[in-house]
Amino acid sequence: MSFFPENEAILFIPGLANLEMNQTVEAFAYRLKKSLDINSPEENDKFITELRKTTYGKDNKQECQIVSIYRISNNEKKKVYDIYELNYCRDLIRRFEQMNVLFKTMVLFTTVTAKLPRFFWVIIRRTKGLHLRDKIQSLYVGLILLSISLYGIMLLTALVASIEQPLANQNWGSLNLGNAIQTEKQTISAILHTYFGSFSLLPAAQEVFSWIGNVLLHIYRFFADIFLLLWQIPLMVFHVALTFRDWIIGSAAILFLLLPNIRTFITNTATQYICYFNYLNVGERRLNIIGKLEEILECASESKENYSKISIHSFSFGSIVALDALFPYDGVISERMKNIHTLITVGCPYDFIRVYWPNYYNRQKLAENKPLQLQRWYNVYSSIDILSSNFRDDSSQKEAEKMIGAQKPTNVPFNAITPEDVSTWDNFTLLGLRAHTLYWEDESYSASYLTNLFQQMKKDEEKANREQIVQENARTTFDLTVSTAALVDEVALAKT
């Protein structure tokens, strides 16, 4: 069997667009072309790319870029791949891009605050799926996001206070909600004791009513204290912003001078993580993105190219989209999706998600129905990258143990940096997060994970060929044995 496929379609699903790496379909196609070239058994083979566009979807108003890779051998030109690009990033972040900076930072603050207890809990409980080092780095990232959002809120508050000087002179201490709540709690307490303690009943019944009154009182006090705490947090932030407004504005001016792109970084970070969390928490934009993938798949299936097979190649957040499309919650999958031959996930955050969203990949119906049987699933991961996954409960470079539905990936490790050389300082500088961008670098000609992937695919093809030969030999031997036995029986029958 040839090392190269013939006329295969690839649906390329990139990660979020604001990662600092070139994820365009042209760049991916060039890296793929280069990897084919340097791994070709024939040194004289040449590979070229051609770019075209096609329309699809409702009224053919959607546009998709397609890059074709051709192999030229002995003056014969054969198509190897057609690569279709799923451009979903704009659909995912469009609503949040239109929001102002204050709203973005406030939403980021509330989103991270709501998830922060889980970051602590997985460390305390020693939840399996991530190394302790990765959990600590994840908590560290969460605290950094919280600090960024909090600083953004205080900065905007300080700016408003500087413009509106009367606000700065306002006596915010007069807004003492705590005293009001304490007075209200005392009033409620008196009412409950009076109501439940005034019945002329048997001592046992009166004791029961008194107990009910105390329970209701404690419940009321609990929620009143929570409300008081939640009210005090924005007041405290506002008070700090007013008190240190000159220092906050001055530090912001220095930051903008030294880091002119800091504002863009904050807004992009807020947008990216808000969309990431909302997609995982409530499935925001999930159906739209998967629907777009389905239309591109239909476009490829209806093409006159008559592809030999169709595969999905996904990176980072794109891997989540691919898994959600191929392994839906209810286990019902379209006929077109069933035709997907190979899935490739690079930097897939499966382990990260199953630790911090433990029920997200609970696909029990898939395991029961088994609607999808991929021929191949390759998972490229890095031991340093805290967002990638080896589909195991430990960090060893071994075969995958975890499954989605009835499918288990073939792990392909790729480390641009030796894991043993990672120091504590590297962890402090978020190397585990930065390693998520080290599957290739900014230049299209950079080395990448594709050589590791091709070597694993080649090894699997050779293994499959050997198994096929063994099966054919066994079948031939069996047929020969049956024929010999039949001939012996005929000879024996003739003698009689």
Q: In this predicted structure, what is the pLDDT of residue 16?
A: 81
Is pLDDT larger for residue 2 or for residue 252?
252
How many Cβ atoms from other residues are within 10 Å of residue 475's Cβ? 10
Cβ atoms 339, 375 nearer than 8 A? no
Q: Give CA separation, 131 vs 370, 380, 403, in Å.
A: 31, 18, 19
pLDDT grade for 169, boundaries at 50, 70 and 90: low
Is pLDDT larger for residue 371 or for residue 29?
29
User: CA-CA distance, 312 to 322, in Å (whole number)?
Assistant: 7
Copy the structure tokens of residue 421.
Answer: 């050389």
Q: Across residues 134-155, what is the average pLDDT?
A: 78
Q: Which fold has domain 8-87+285-470?
A: Rossmann fold (3.40.50)
Q: In this predicted structure, what is the pLDDT of residue 167?
A: 46
| pLDDT > 60? residue 332 | yes
User: CA-CA distance, 394 to 129, in Å (whole number)?
Assistant: 6
pLDDT tens figures, 261-305: 666 666 677 777 888 888 998 888 899 999 999 999 999 999 888
User: CA-CA distance, 426 to 438, in Å (whole number)?
Assistant: 15
**Phi, psi at residue 407, to the nearest 5°?**
-110, 140
User: CA-CA distance, 64 to 62, in Å (whole number)?
Assistant: 7
Residue with tokens 């012996």, as numbered in its chain: 488
User: CA-CA distance, 82 to 71, in Å (whole number)?
Assistant: 12
Q: In this predicted structure, what is the pLDDT of residue 50?
A: 94
Q: 205-217 as b/e, with b when 16 or more CB fall inside 10 Å? A: eeeeeeeebeeeb
User: CA-CA distance, 51 to 84, in Å (whole number)?
Assistant: 10
Minimal CA–CA distance to 115: which of 273, 242, 4, 266? 273
pLDDT-wise least confident of 84-93, 379-388, 448-457: 84-93
| pLDDT > 90? residue 153 | no
- Averaging pLDDT over each range in 341-350, 353-362, 398-407, 426-435, which range is the top one? 341-350
Q: Across residues 408-427, what is the average pLDDT?
A: 83
| pLDDT > 70? residue 182 | no
Residue with tokens 């990431």, as numbered in its chain: 276
| pLDDT > 60? residue 200 | no
Copy the structure tokens of residue 404.
Answer: 């989605």
pLDDT grade for 1, boundaries at 50, 70 and 90: very low
Q: How many CA atoms lie less than 13 Å away from 216 in the CB half-sphere? A: 14
Read out DSSP for 180-204? HHHHHHHHHHHHHHHHHH-----HH
Q: Enumerate the domain spans of the chain.
A: 8-87+285-470, 100-175+220-276
Q: In this predicted structure, what is the pLDDT of residue 223?
A: 66
- DSSP state for residue 407 in the 8-state scheme: B
Helices (H), 71-131: 89-97, 101-124
Residues 6 or more apart from 15 whose CB is under 8 A from it? 23, 315, 316, 317, 318, 347
| pLDDT > 70? residue 190 | no
User: CA-CA distance, 397 to 272, in Å (whole number)?
Assistant: 30
**Hey, what amino acid is at 174?**
S
pTM score, whole prediction = 0.77
Q: In this predicted structure, what is the pLDDT of residue 262?
A: 63
* Average pLDDT for the chain: 79
pLDDT tens figures, 204-253: 555 665 666 667 666 766 666 666 665 566 666 666 666 666 666 666 66
pLDDT grade for 175, boundaries at 50, 70 and 90: very low
User: CA-CA distance, 345 to 229, in Å (whole number)?
Assistant: 44
